[in-house]
Amino acid sequence: MIKKVLVLGLCSALALGCKTSKTVTENAQQEDKKGDFKSYAKVITKDAITDSGLFTTHKVDDKVYFEIPDSLFNKDMLWVSRIAKAPSGYGGGYVNAGSKVNEQVVRWSKRGKNIDVKVMSFENKSDEESPINKSVKANNFEPILYSAAIETMKPDSSAYVIDVTNLFEDEVAAINAMDASARKRYKVKRLDKSRSYIEEVHAFPENVEVRHVMTYDAEEPPERGQASTISMLMNQSMILLPEDKMMPRIADYRVGWFTVGKYDYDSEALKSYDYEIIRRWRLEPKDVEAYKNGELVEPVKPIVYYLDPATPMRWRPYFKKGIEDWNKAFEAAGFKNAIIAKNPPTKEEDPDFSPEDVRYSVVRYVASTTRNAVGPSVTDPRTGEIIESDIIWYHNHLRSYRNRFMIEAGAQNPKARTLETPEEEIGEMMRMVIAHEVGHALGLPHNMKASAAYPTDSLRSAAFTQKYGLTPSIMDYARVNYVAQPEDKGVRYIRMMGPYDIYAINWGYRYLPEAESSKDEKESLDRWILEKAGDPIYEFGSGYGGRDPQSQRESLGKDQVKASEYGLANMKKVVPNLIDWTTKDGYGYDDLEEVYGELIKLWRGYLYHVVTNVGGVYETRKTADQEGVMYSPVSDDIQKEAVAFLNKNAFTTPNWLLDSEILDRIQSTGAVERIKQLQTRVLSNLLDEDRLMRMIENKQLHGNNYSVIALLEDLRSGIFTELYSGEKVDVYRRNLQRAYVDMSIGYINELEERNDIAGTDIIPLMRGELATLKSQINRMQYSTSDRLSRYHYKDLIARIDKAFSNK
């Protein structure tokens, strides 16, 4: 027994000695390690402004330091660069506060006595065990965005401190405000470091936010008063991405979603497999078994939007309804209470609440003259998971809807005949705008094809519009019912959520518990699409390309010609009332001028909706297992009807619009130039080269009878009506006729200079048309007794002769 005690005591003493020796050695090593750097107290002084969060941030005088924990090295973080404030007129007025400049995944890594920020890419992928994985990694080497020397260590050695001042005050291309095109446009010389600085730094549990001013010397800034200077406030967000990755859902272009592109090099095909995944929130049911049994189940983590504390109290109920309207769609996907709107918490309820904290998604109310609303979101590019979203509502967006309601519904709806739109109507508009922007933040892009699913005359029916709205999707641009006529009572004038939205949310968000991989989901996803195939209510079209007349911004109904006729009929009733509806005693005519100008733009939009039918091609998105073709040309009859409409409503002088009572109140001159620009733009759009080439191709491939020759003959008879009637040619028509001749000559010159073989058919077509026109002018020019009209015809002949003599 004594031996055992002695042995145990010896062993304990040896163990203690070993442990003590090891601790002393480690401490000595740490001291040596710290000895390589400055003292923590000398770098992070008592005057430092410190904020603790994902990183601890320190602001010491004009310097900013990041204190990066060991545990966060080599973790994926999303870096989002946004313009927080931009100068007036920047980007032609299309770049607003909140515009995203860049989004990239970064990792912070230690390299000797330095810390690097590496930019990671998840676009190209392969299995870790696959032989090709080595090649994927070798050919996707991570660039180093920034590197800094370690300044000091945290006293407990758990974090390293670096100076990041230069990261935000120098011009680092990956995060700065000014891209190459903007630098060229404004003739930017350099970033002026003396006028560039870090404004504020905040740390939150899952993100770090930095705001910094960047000032550039520029020879031609957006506005002259900016004194050869462009200053911008940038917001940099660095967000920790989840280690527990969401399973991606593979996109299908037949259902509209915002997506992330991928390239899979493990594909057995003789190429990389190119595919896309959709952007969506992570919604998983709390009770999977109940969900599988068809019960509505709450998600583990619902989508929560807080209202901005700056939101006026009167508008909060409408904002909240617009957010929670989406619960109807989520219920179709099996979830209840999936999206929740909350008032901003008080200091007592949540003293740490901040809209900048990535844990909170916020509907921000911005006091700005910008007339817009946007629904951006932050997405994990590895999986498509939406991490957070801030909807931005700019105060003056109300102004846009007020004006549009008056212009497009004033003839039919007495509530629209005032600039003080009743709260019930303007509130409903705001609700639907917020719902539209939330739709973007949920992952849905615009569906401009949706409105063409409804027969145009159905929009004049109270029963139909109250039940189905103006379009099957709130993601379409269909803001006000301009089709309804004054005699149509009880119709709905404001868009609302529709069946396509419910279908799309179910397709993107329904949880498939049996699927172990994204590929396992494809059979179910395809089946849901095929169940709706052939029904235009469930079709998707982006509206890009300008070829499909059924996929256009702001259009309503299947028949664009009829819809535009209805819209113009209403406008003609609105114009004589604009003075009464927009003016009040003691004030000027600013509102009258604004509304009148917007009315002209809407009129132009109606005309463009019709133009797209000419040489138009319908697109129906399909996959190889579906019958029928994807593209089919618009019929001859519809094209001919469209041109007849344009001759009547675009190229005939719009005397109804030229109301002298209005014009003499808002301008001393300019009416002639305004109509000239509008008509020539429509004509230029109609004679677009791509459109004419499609018509030539459709004639060859499909036997369409409405050819370019037929188009030019119809235009000549419509634009040069006075040549055959002998009537006087007014100033508006002279401008239009000159534009037609100059445009035709310009076509020939441009195509010949380009030596464009594909466009050579257009050259003889235009030459033949000009020769025919010259012949008819020579024969008919003296049928008018108006001297100015005859001089005008002689001028047209001289222009044609000059063009031909130069060849």
Query: Would you say residue 27 has pLDDT above 80?
Result: no
Ranking 22-36, 139-153, 181-195, 420-434 by mean pLDDT, the lowest is: 22-36
Show the tokens assigned to 736: 């239009």
Buried b vs exposed e over 498-533: b needs ≥16 C-beta within 10 Å?
A: bbbbbbbbbbbbbbeeebeebeebeeebeeebeebb
Output the pLDDT for position 274.
83
Query: Would you say residue 269 has pLDDT above 90?
Result: no
Q: Is 517 helix (H, G, I), strand (E, B) or coil?
A: coil
| Rounded average pLDDT over 746-762 | 78
Output the pLDDT for position 757.
63
Give the model confidence (pLDDT) of 236-257 as tens digits: 999 999 999 999 999 999 999 9
CA atoms within 13 A of residue 439's CA, in its CB half-sphere: 30
Strands annotated E in 204-322: 207-218, 229-240, 259-264, 273-278, 303-307
- Structure confidence at residue 2 as a pLDDT band (50, 70, 90): very low
| Count of beta carbons in the 10 Å neighbourhood of residue 207 | 24
Q: Which residue has the higher pLDDT, 227 or 416?
A: 416
Output the pLDDT for position 131.
55
Q: Is 454 helix (H, G, I), strand (E, B) or coil?
A: coil
Query: Would you say residue 735 has pLDDT above 50?
Result: yes
| Rounded average pLDDT over 31-42 | 74
Output the pLDDT for position 123.
60
Query: Would you say residue 116 has pLDDT above 90?
Result: yes
Q: List C-alpha distances in Å: 308 to 261, 304, 353, 368, 427.
A: 33, 13, 11, 15, 17
Query: Shortest CA distance to 115 belongs to which of 76, 59, 154, 67?
Result: 67
% residues pLDDT > 90 (the chain): 71
CA distance linking residue 229 with residue 224, whole number of Å: 9
Output the pLDDT for position 4.
40
Query: Would you say residue 29 has pLDDT above 50?
Result: no
Output the pLDDT for position 156.
92
Q: List C-alpha distances in Å: 802 to 282, 337, 742, 797.
A: 67, 72, 11, 9
Query: Shortest CA distance to 591 belongs to which of 583, 580, 599?
Result: 583
Show the tokens assigned to 52: 């603790």
Yes or no: say if 543 and 448 are a contact pair by the CB < 8 Å rule: yes
Output the pLDDT for position 225.
63
Output the pLDDT for position 620.
95
Query: Would you say residue 674 has pLDDT above 50?
Result: yes
Yes or no: say if 250 and 521 are a contact pair by the CB < 8 Å rule: yes
- pTM, 2 dp: 0.88
Output the pLDDT for position 100.
81
Yes or no: say if 490 and 529 are a contact pair by the CB < 8 Å rule: no
First to last CA, the chain: 121
Q: List C-alpha distances in Å: 684 to 228, 498, 676.
A: 36, 36, 12
Q: List C-alpha distances in Å: 426 to 368, 399, 410, 593.
A: 18, 10, 14, 22
Residue 77 has φ and ψ, to the nearest 5°, of -130, 140
Query: Would you say residue 751 has pLDDT above 80?
Result: yes
Q: Which residue has the higher pLDDT, 91 or 739?
A: 739
| Rounded average pLDDT over 64-70 | 95
| Rounded average pLDDT over 668-682 | 93
Output the pLDDT for position 17.
46
Cα angle value 83/88/91 (rounded, 5°): 60
CB neighbour list of residue 640: distance below 8 Å, 6 or more residues apart: 706, 710, 714
Domains in the chain: boundaries: 1-35, 42-240, 288-558, 631-805
Output the pLDDT for position 6.
36
CA atoms within 13 A of residue 148's CA, in its CB half-sphere: 20
DSSP per residue over 568-633, as a string? HHHHHHHGGGHHHHH--TT--SHHHHHHHHHHHHHHHHHHHHHHTTTT-EEE----TTSSS-SEEE
| Rounded average pLDDT over 171-200 | 88
Give the model confidence (pLDDT) of 301-310 as tens digits: 999 999 998 8
CB neighbour list of residue 795: distance below 8 Å, 6 or more residues apart: 738
